[in-house]
Amino acid sequence: MLLTKRFFPYFATQCLGALNDNIYKNVLLLMVTYTQVNDLPMSVNLFVNLAAGVFILPFFLFSAHAGMVADNMDKAKLIRRLKQFEVVIMSCAAMAILSQSYLMMLLLLFLTGSQSAYFGPVKYSLLPQALAEDELVTGNAWVEMGTFLSILVGTLSAGLIVASEHNLVTAAVSVFVLSICGYLSSRAIPAMPPLGVVKKIRFAPLSGTWRSIAKVRQTPTIWMAILAISWFWFLGATYLTQFPNFAKLHLHADATVVSLLLALFSIGIAIGSYICERFSFGHVELGLLPFGVLGLTVFGVDLLWAIPPAPIDVSYIYSIGSFIDASQHYGVMFALFMVGVSGGLFIVPLYAFIQSRAKKEECAQAIAANNIVNALFMVCSALLSMVLLEGLNWTITELFLLLALLNSVVALYVYSQVPEFTQRFISYLLSHVFYRVTVEGRAKLPKEGAAVIVCNHVSYVDALIIMGASTRPIRFVMDKSISEIPLLKYLFRHAGVIPICSPRQCQKTYNSAFEQIHQALQNDELVCIFPEGRLTPDGLLGEFKPGIDKILARDTVPVIPMALNGLWGSYFSHKDGHALSTRPKRFWSKVSVTIDDAVAGTVERQLLRAKVEALQSE
């Protein structure tokens, strides 16, 4: 996938853009901070803070419009236009650098932020259009790896450029050449036409921003994913901002160690993104999120425990070489690296989740809303740091401890608001820790629209296993007695399980079940039924109940045959007695979920049963 024409030119373009942005921004800040600047109409500290605000302001002003533009024109064409704009900006920036016109460079930084604000939505919304669904996590992992490594290389390169003998010429040439390279690579991106009806776009910076946020809040799962991503940027911005003082005050180190900390953090995120790709097994996997959340808290606290005592000679300052040579620093280095790894595990599934759940014709607008909230959280990060460190005289270690603890609070809030995240985690544990689940035919599940899934019923955890096989939510029709099992009742209720029983047991529950099934199919949802009507007592497929006929007579939607193999004989099945009354029979057993092509909604029960039986025997 990486070297294909549908991905590599885009990947190279976005990496070159991130690299150029960070070289230019950091060159400006370093030149102002470390050189004698006599023509500034303000203090250096004010200029530096103003520069940070000037770069982030366009994300508030233009992201909503950028999302609308990206959804209503060819994405490849938009990227090329943005890269042409970048060439113009960087041509002016090169002249401003050579003439040391810092106010002009500040204005150009605002334009650079504007260009980035328009590039952000198209950068992520292009992926679900260019890649297959089973490549989406891989694509996002490469994007995150490339972005953070580009940020790292750009930041370090800026320091080397400013320290060089011909720093002005080197800086001017670098930003101009990189912009040219970015434009040339963008020309190889294949056409990506808009997926919906092209609409007229009105430019409304402030009102458009609020409308964009209000629109995405209508989908709670996407809104919570955006809040979770924004929380990561809150954490990341705080860590990155405080690295210099943390290294100076608590590690007794110089500026070279700050670069080392940045490198460990950025490389950790890249490695975490790669790990996420490997353990997502080819689909959007929210089950990895808790590992990232737990890591951010555990290693965030461990970072503080690992701080070594001050050197005996308090005047001694560690350079990068002496810092690495001293073994007492290995704990700090490892903890910070693992914070980055946890961050990579955290954000990659969330970006892929937004791309997979947002409407294809509105994906860029969802990403734009995400960028707006990200920017807001980063501003709040700066404000909180100023209040705690300057106003209340907290130490940086106390601030870092607060972040680690708040991370747990935020995670609990998000998981309480979106139970699907919890369900996905439990499904992941069952599928890849308790069992070894493989899925055959995942692509045969429809990406959108209503359908009925018909599957054999082997164990109490069938619904959780099937849930992990689909990136879309599934409504399960389940025997009322099973849906009320104490340990699983909470998960089933919040998963939208439809309880059913025979009309002799409760006519009201029976009628309500079919009405809920009808409403779910009318809402274009996936509904899974176990047409035997009960858990198998012998592992074999029993006779189908007439309920399947009643469903398909009212809603003639596609029917998807599915079969579970390998669960019979495991702990949650009825083999050799009730599951909870016997000892565990098999751990780490191989289980397969096999999905067949959809058939017409008028299919007969005997033919449908034969299809499921055939899948079971494979």
- Give residue-wise pLDDT tens across range 148-171: 899 889 888 888 888 788 888 999
The DSSP call for residue 478 is E
Give me the pLDDT at residue 175, please: 93
Confidence of residue 424 (pLDDT cuts 50, 70, 90): confident
> pLDDT at position 27, please?
86
Question: Taking 90 as the threshold, does the pLDDT of residue 281 lie above it?
Answer: no
Task: Check residue 582 and give its pLDDT.
Answer: 46
Quick one: tokens of 244? Answer: 């210099």
How far from the centroid of its chain's Cα atoms is residue 396's Cα?
A: 28
Confidence band of 44 (pLDDT split at 50, 70, 90): low
Span 525-538, average pLDDT: 86
Beta bridge partners, 465, equal none
What's the confidence (pLDDT) of residue 19?
93
CA distance 617 to 456: 12
> Which range in 38-42, 486-490, 601-605 is most confidently predicted, on average pLDDT?
601-605
- Asked if 341 and 268 touch (Cβ cutoff 8 Å), the reply is yes
Concatenating the DSSP letter of every residue in 38-72 gives -S-SS-HHHHHHHHHHHHHHHHHHHHHHHHHHHHT
Q: What is the pLDDT of residue 452?
A: 93
Short-list 466, 442, 489, 485, CA closest to 565? 466
CA nearest to 37, candidates 89, 103, 91: 103
Q: Which residue has the tokens 């070894």?
A: 436
3-state secondary structure of 188: coil
- Round the CA-based radius of gyration of the chain to a whole number and report it: 27
Beta bridge partners of residue 562, listed in sequence order: 455, 595
Query: Which residue's entry shows tokens 């113009």?
Result: 88
Range from 7-11, 24-28, 194-198 that averages highest in pLDDT: 7-11
**The amino acid at 241:** T
Asked if residue 97 has pLDDT above 80, the reply is yes
20 pLDDT exceeds 90?
A: yes
Decide which of 381 and 570 is more confident: 381
Task: Please tell me the distance from the alpha carbon of residue 313 to that of residue 306, in angstroms, as a whole number.
Answer: 20
Residues across the chain: 618
Which residue's entry shows tokens 């509904």? 527
% the chain with pLDDT above 90: 26
Run of H or E including 521: helix 507-522
Query: What is the arithmetic mean of pLDDT over 239-252?
Result: 84
Q: What per-residue confidence (pLDDT) applies to 581?
A: 46
In 418-497, which ranges are continuous DSSP H helix? 419-429, 462-469, 480-483, 489-494
Per the model's pLDDT, the better-predicted residue between 312 and 579 turns out to be 312
Q: Of the ranges 297-306, 375-384, 486-495, which is most confident? A: 297-306
314-324 confidence digits (pLDDT tens): 678 888 899 99
Answer yes or no: is pLDDT of 559 > 50: yes
Instruction: Give the model's confidence band at 558: pLDDT under 50 very low, under 70 low, under 90 confident, else very high.
Output: very high
3-state secondary structure (DSSP) of residue 90: helix
Q: How far is CA 49 from CA 240, 255, 389, 393, in A?
A: 15, 20, 16, 20
> What is the model's pLDDT at position 463?
86
d(CA 595, CA 616): 10
Residues contacting 533, CB < 8 A, separation 6+: 479, 502, 545, 547
What pLDDT was estimated at residue 170? 92
Q: Which two tokens stand for residue 360?
A: 């294809």
Centre a 10 Å sphere on the Cβ of residue 541 and count the other Cβ atoms it contains.
20
CB of 27 closer than 8 Å to CB of 90: no
Residue 451 has a pLDDT of 93
For range 77-88, the mean pLDDT: 94
Q: How far apart are CA 104 and CA 399, in angstroms?
A: 36
| DSSP category for residue 603 | -
Task: Fill in the amino acid letter for 410.
Answer: V
Instruction: Grade residue 583 by pLDDT with cuts at 50, 70 and 90.
Output: very low
Kindly list the distances between the CA atom of residue 255 and the CA atoms of 31, 171, 245, 323, in Å, as whole numbers in the listed order: 15, 21, 10, 12
Whole-number pLDDT of residue 455: 92
- Structure confidence by residue, pLDDT tens digits, 215-225: 888 888 889 89
Where is mean pLDDT largest: 94-103, 195-204, 358-367?
A: 94-103
**Across-strand partners of 401?**
none
Question: What is the end-to-end Cα distance of the chain in Å, rounded?
Answer: 30
Mean pLDDT, the chain, integer: 85
Q: Helix %, strand %, coil % for the chain, to 5?
A: 65, 5, 25
What percent of the chain is predicted at pLDDT more than 70?
93
The count of other CB atoms within 10 Å of the CB of residue 244 is 15
3-class state of residue 193 by DSSP: coil
Between CA 214 and CA 216 the distance in angstroms is 6
Q: 251 and 329 in contact (C-beta within 8 Å)?
A: yes
Question: What would the DSSP string read from start to end of 274-312?
Answer: HHHHHHTTTS--GGGHHHHHHHHHHHHHHHHHTPPPPPS
Question: Would you state the pLDDT for residue 495?
Answer: 73
